Structure 1
Amino acid sequence: MKNAIKFLAVLILACTVTFGVQVKAATAITSYTFNLRNLERNPVEMWLFLDSPQFSQDPGEIFQNSNTFLEIPPYTPEETQKFVAHVQYKLEATQQNEPVGLDTYITSDFSKEVDLKNGYLVEYSSDKGGYPTIEDYNTSRQPTSKNLIAQTNKFEPVPDYYNALTFGVTTTEGTTGVTWEPEPNIDYTITPTLTFYIATGEYQENVLAQIDATSAENAKITTGYGGDFNNFNNVWVTYNQDGTWTVENQPWQD
């Protein structure tokens, strides 16, 4: 099955016990460390999701799209599980046979590393079975140091053939982002906020979901000034015995 476009901030996750990855990026990479603690008696599967960025154009309905998860055993002070996130933005595009919607499976065809203050042209085919392309482009709207612009071409709708757009992150586990269906001939100005959610539940890899930002069942983790990370970009996330979450910017006192 084909699928969507993905504006991805490349997030490389490294589990301290099992894996670590380095990537070559065009610009300096900021790293974020998520320290994870499970106070339940049994292992839990923790999923990483990304909140929506800010848009100049209303993208319509947005869905979370992730295949990034870890099984976290009951906590012991001797061994802390963690994600290490290295952020580099990336653009991916795809055309697919199913519409963008809840419980739809989404993957991607084409990818390109992208940067803030730059514009890009995303061209979709007007023929069924066609593939998209992505290239640097002098977009009609000027990007700033805080955003990037993805401009879609004047594609014609194709019966039973769909396009999608996702801004998110790529990880050593896979990817995580937010997906929506783009319109033709639109310049989407995307301002990253890099707000994350960690959740447990019956999620599936690359199957679109919707995360309730106000739910106590999710840990909301924000970056930037006044966010949840400390000065060294570390955060400590606890899954409590009652199913709630605690987010702290200092180490646990065992």
Structure 2
Amino acid sequence: MANQFKIYVVNDTSSIKDFYLFLAAPDELAGDSEVYANSNTFIKIKGNSRDQTNSFTIPIQFVFEVGASNRAVALNTRIDSSTPRDIQYGEQWQATYFPPNQGPNLIKSGSTNNPKSVAIRTIPYDKDTDEGDGWFGSQSFGIKTSSGFAGMTWSPDPGETRTLVPKLEFYIATGTFGENVLADWTSVSSDPAIITEDDFSAGNTGEATVVRTKSGGWDVYTGKLRSSALAAKSNQLSHLYQSHLAICRAHEELIKTAGISSDHNLLGEECVECVLESATVDIDDPGNSTLMGNGDNKITGTMTVSKVLGSIGVGALVLVGGSRFSISNILGKTRFAFTYSGPKSITAISALLVAAKYVSICPSKK
């Protein structure tokens, strides 16, 4: 197991951002609305920062912290604990709170039943009287960082014991957080990068890289990615996009060629070229033939084109990708009903009309 973690952060957006590190809450605290996220660990990173090296260094050292001040534990309140203690798995600690203007005490008091857990017990005290006098206790659990602390804070209850099973899972979030200013978990966990223990590389220092992408999403990579590797990944994505775009354009030209040029050659006459705006096939028409495409099938439907039909009327020939349709009724200035008779199935004709972008309409049928 690593002795420490290191998370490299890359800001691929165009604007400067504050990146805050948070420790995910143990299951025993998750969902408790009176437990707040608390961190003083953040990095301010300029936009398009691939030429910079920014990172969080996180020794694997959990801590309990206790404090008391004239500020109540509540959302958007700054809580600075005065008594931090390094803790080990399997340890139980004891917190003692005193009347106003005196700080609390925190000592190791024993062991937990679960060797993978830690616990903190609060000695009974007159909490209501102290808070009535404006003196508020606090308790925190978290992990040490190169900048200080990342964890969570709550108001202790007299006589309460909290037993926690820590997990090495981290959030990196951008937003309007503040150093040691308590935040609700909803705002922290609504759109963070999530880094689990499995995301770190092997070795004494487990490394991972987090990228805030141009689109506002997150990418998490195992290990440290060099700027050249990040650029290569970006180039790969760009190449894939350009390749896909080229395929789409080639397909469009193929449809155009098959639907217009070949159709002109097929007819041997000048036809009106139109963009096919929409088309439907009467799947439920009982007069339509089998879906299998066996023999001479009859298929009906409608088309809407980009040009006014004008003098073109019933009986005109419509060519789509080499297939012939006949106008059976004029339904509007640019909309008409068609009939297809041929070997293609309803499924094939439907697919043809979905793919087609252009049609040729000829005023007379040959």
Instruction: Give runs of aligned pairs for residues 114-193 of structure 1, distance below 5 A.
Output: 114-125=87-98, 127-138=99-110, 142-157=112-127, 158=130, 159=132, 160-193=134-167
C-alpha displacement of 1:59: 6.0
Task: Sort the Cα spacing of 1:150 and 1:76 in 2 relative to 1 into closer, same or farther, 3 A.
Answer: closer
- Aligned residue type for 1:122: A
Question: Which amino acid counterpart does residue 228 of structure 1 have in structure 2?
Answer: D
Between 1 and 2, higher relative CO (CA 8 Å, sep ≥ 6) is seen in 1
Which residue number in structure 2 is paired with residue 231 of structure 1?
202
Aligned partners of 1:64 and 1:197: how far apart in 2? 11
Number of the residue aligned with 2:253? none
Which runs of 5 or more residues in structure 1 are unaligned? 1-27
**Matched ranges for 1:2-81 at <5 A:** 30-55=3-28, 61-75=34-48, 77-81=50-54
Match of residue 248 from structure 1: 221
| 1:42-89 deviation per Cα after TM superposition (whole angstroms, max 9, x unaligned) | 332211111212338996521111111111234455543222221112
Normalising by the residue count of structure 2, what TM-score does the alignment of the two structures yield?
0.55
User: How far, CA to CA, are the matches of 1:197 and 1:55 in structure 2?
Assistant: 18
Q: CA deviation at 1:161?
A: 2.1
Contact 1:104 1:208 in 2 (8 A): yes
Displacement after TM superposition at 1:34 (Å): 0.7
Aligned partners of 2:152, 2:138: CA distance in 1, in Å?
10
Matched, 1:95 2:68: yes
Q: 1:60 to 1:183 in 2, by over 3 A?
A: farther
8 Å contact 1:66–1:177 — kept in the other structure? yes
Match of 2:193 in 1: 219
Spell out, residue by residue over 1:77-105, the C-alpha distance to the aligned partner (whole angstroms, 9 max, x if none): 55432222211122221112222111111
Is the counterpart of residue 112 in structure 1 residue 82 in structure 2?
no
Greater helix proportion: 2
C-alpha change, 1:199 and 1:56, in structure 2 (3 Å) is closer
CA RMSD of aligned residues (A): 2.4
Report if the CA contact (8 A) 2:12-2:49 is conserved.
Answer: no
Instruction: Report the Cα offset of residue 245 of structure 1.
Output: 1.1
Q: Distance in 1 between matches of 2:15 and 2:219?
A: 18
2:211 touches 2:219 (CA, 8 Å); kept in 1?
Answer: yes
What letter corresponds to residue 192 of structure 1 in structure 2? Answer: P
- Give the CA deviation at 1:165: 1.6
Are 1:143 and 1:149, in contact at CA under 8 Å, matched by a contact in 2? no
TM superposition shift of 1:135: 1.1
Maintained 8 Å contact 1:56/1:188: no
Distance 1:236 1:198 in 2: 11
Aligned to 1:83: 56
The runs of 5 or more residues in structure 2 that have no matched partner are 232-366
CA distance in 2 between counterparts of 1:235 and 1:31 reads 12
Pair member with larger Rg: 2
Equivalent position SS for 1:237:
strand
- The 10-residue stretch of structure 1 (243-252 or 74-83) with the greater mean CA deviation from structure 2: 74-83
Q: Is the 8 A contact 1:116 1:143 kept in 2?
A: no
Query: For residues 137 and 56 of structure 1, do their structure 2 counterparts lie closer, same or farther at Cα, with a shift above 3 Å needed?
Result: farther
Counterpart Cα distance in 1 of 2:14 and 2:32: 41
Alignment match, 1:20? none
The answer to whether the 8 Å contact 1:57/1:189 transfers is: no
